[in-house]
Structure 1
């Protein structure tokens, strides 16, 4: 991720950026020539080997100028590149087909001509005493002009944004489909191992009782009592399975009430700050509820925490959530199945999840989901 400066840079800072860009002028030329020559030579294997090194170098230089443009304008300049598949040849093909790679070439043409002239002019205005007033008032506008052109070329265009969106949706859909299939298998297994087996026992007991009703009424009565007890147990297990699909408290009390109920069941004290004044769409409420439940379960199992907290805030268009604890830390979004599963569930709603969990703690899981309320009814914990 690009760093986000707190404010635009002043004359001295932009002059330092200009000097860095002037010094990078020769590397930009060399990499541009290397990429062009390598592309021509791809008809033979030497060109492919050269491209394996040239395209990553081009991205490194472009990333450096994105950071410099962000430093001058005070706004981040995100990289537009699509994710790379594993393997050098597949990665090379992905880079070569990525429109952002060729936008980098277009930017290099600008950086070697108009961009270089602007950066050099800013630096030269500073080193000449007679032009210091011009430098004082002109350095920032000149560098902002260069930086905005850099930003326009190096940041994601409409095509890249749509392609990334399609890529993200395809990946999240595949994960959600897998998750849904796993959830269906879990429900089937829970029904098979619990209520289904007990209902089969009830049926067997009723059949035996019917056979014994005339010859041994006492034994038939005992079987009926057993069947009643078994059916009550099966009903309880069936309620547990349904509760795992969509908790009744979530339907009755909404998201804030359901999260409050989760907090009450925790052995670790949970501080709540729930600002969700309206009911949200049921699928979103369910996804957020299970995300909070998974995070709190991780806290109880692994964190060794003395305190945890849950924050929910809905501003009418975006739901922001945070679940944290003061435990030992070490949570990793890339390992296990809990947090990746949460991320996949939220990705289906355009949700973005991040984890901060340094060794020694604290662990903070945050996510954002764009969503509007589904009704004007107010629900508070």
Structure 2
């Protein structure tokens, strides 16, 4: 089972490892990653100069004009300019640094110029973009001055045996001058000195890619931390998505209840009323037929009552409220077509909402075991770990369950995700299947 980037669980398959003949230290100077990150560092200097020359004068001018009305919209324009540069920087980071950055939340405005200005000034995203334009400039200067000279020096020294002939032919000296004054000159011209120079160049060439990767890592941190959405924004977006899932799930549950009532108990009660009406009409004419119809109606009443009890149990069983998960899950297991062993080891009871979701989750999983697994035994285990409620349903069926295939497991995973829960599916072809659900305890 592979790991998901957000929760630690998932179904994505990791790529096959690549086998290289050369070790990483020898490959690094020629890898595409090195050239992309080096290009990013080179481009950072001119771009950061533009960013700095935009943000500092604009913010300074708007700050000086804050005593007038002009300074406020000017500050908003300055911040929006920084946000526009942020779009470029995120695209550059995606292309050259290989880092995926979500777009931050747009400016919230109710319409109108003043609302837009207020939205820009109140947005933390805008101010973080401004910080990026200010702090990235000195870092870009340092990274440029560290990476480019060392890169050129390493390759120049390493290739010195190939271009040393330039000095005696065009400069009138024996080789690259290492030291010189009015009385003494030192040139790199002997075979040993040439070989030593190339060796030093090789060491620098092999070391520079790792320096570039370290500098690029700092760039990644700055871009993600200042130009991407903050943790709070991501949490707000996640909660909004979860709220939509909860609303959709509740609406689906209401539609299911309405459909079950309409097609089940309601239809049966309508037919029952008609049968009783006919029995009433035959009461004086044919008492025996009327008695038979009343007897049939009595049977229909029992069936309708059973359907209503099943429907109420599906919404929220009374045994769950009265006696907790242990008794409620044992009741569910007793109705399963497959023999189920239930083990519940809990020090107490979670909040009713989590308890209800846990009951619903196990019920759905046991229904899947009955309908699709082909198993002849199953196990339900419930326990608490730290502040998490753990549920695990295992069966010895045919396997092949996949939560990413748009099945009922996908909807169940969304329901758990709405309350910060996790659904992990381990179901290789041929079985066995182990499905683990994790919920917050929230006692």
The alignment's TM-score, normalised by the length of structure 1, stands at 0.61
Residues 111-260 of structure 1 aligned to structure 2 (within 5 Å):
112=140, 154=224, 160-260=230-330
Deviations 1:142-186 (A, max 9, x none): x99998997687459996222222222222222222222222122
- Is 1:81 aligned with 2:151? no
Deviations 1:284-305 (A, max 9, x none): 2121111122223333433444
Q: 1:328 touches 1:360 (CA, 8 Å); kept in 2?
A: yes
Cα distance between partner residues in 2 of 1:361 and 1:104: 54
- Is 1:279 aligned with 2:370? no
Change (3 A) 1:229 1:273: closer
Cα distance between partner residues in 2 of 1:110 and 1:264: 69
Change (3 A) 1:61 1:269: farther
Cα distance between partner residues in 2 of 1:367 and 1:318: 10
Measured after TM superposition, the shift of residue 251 of structure 1 is 2.6
- Helix, strand or coil for the counterpart of 1:334? helix
Structure 1 residue aligned with 2:403: 333
Unaligned runs of 5+ in 1: 5-14, 41-50, 65-78, 85-96, 121-126, 129-142, 374-381
Change (3 A) 1:158 1:314: farther
Deviations 1:35-64 (A, max 9, x none): 889999xxxxxxxxxx99984551366566
- Is 1:342 aligned with 2:412? yes
Cα distance between partner residues in 1 of 2:431 and 2:49: 50
- Helix, strand or coil for the counterpart of 2:404? coil
- Is 1:319 aligned with 2:340? no
Greater Rg over alpha carbons, structure: 2
Q: 2:394 touches 2:432 (CA, 8 Å); kept in 1?
A: yes
- Is 1:29 aligned with 2:12? no
Measured after TM superposition, the shift of residue 32 of structure 1 is 4.4
- Helix, strand or coil for the counterpart of 1:310? strand
Q: 1:35 touches 1:55 (CA, 8 Å); kept in 2?
A: no
Change (3 A) 1:30 1:152: closer
Change (3 A) 1:249 1:155: farther
- Is 1:59 aligned with 2:94? yes
Measured after TM superposition, the shift of residue 333 of structure 1 is 2.3
Change (3 A) 1:153 1:29: closer
Structure 2 residue aligned with 1:352: 422
Change (3 A) 1:339 1:98: farther
Deviations 1:183-205 (A, max 9, x none): 21221121122211222222223
Structure 2 residue aligned with 1:44: none
Unaligned runs of 5+ in 2: 9-24, 55-85, 106-122, 149-198, 201-212
Cα distance between partner residues in 2 of 1:53 and 1:159: 15
Measured after TM superposition, the shift of residue 243 of structure 1 is 1.5
Cα distance between partner residues in 2 of 1:117 and 1:320: 54
The alignment's TM-score, normalised by the length of structure 2, stands at 0.54
RMSD (Å), alpha carbons: 5.2
Of the structure 1 ranges 22-31 and 246-255, higher mean CA displacement relative to structure 2 is found in 22-31
Structure 1 residue aligned with 2:207: none
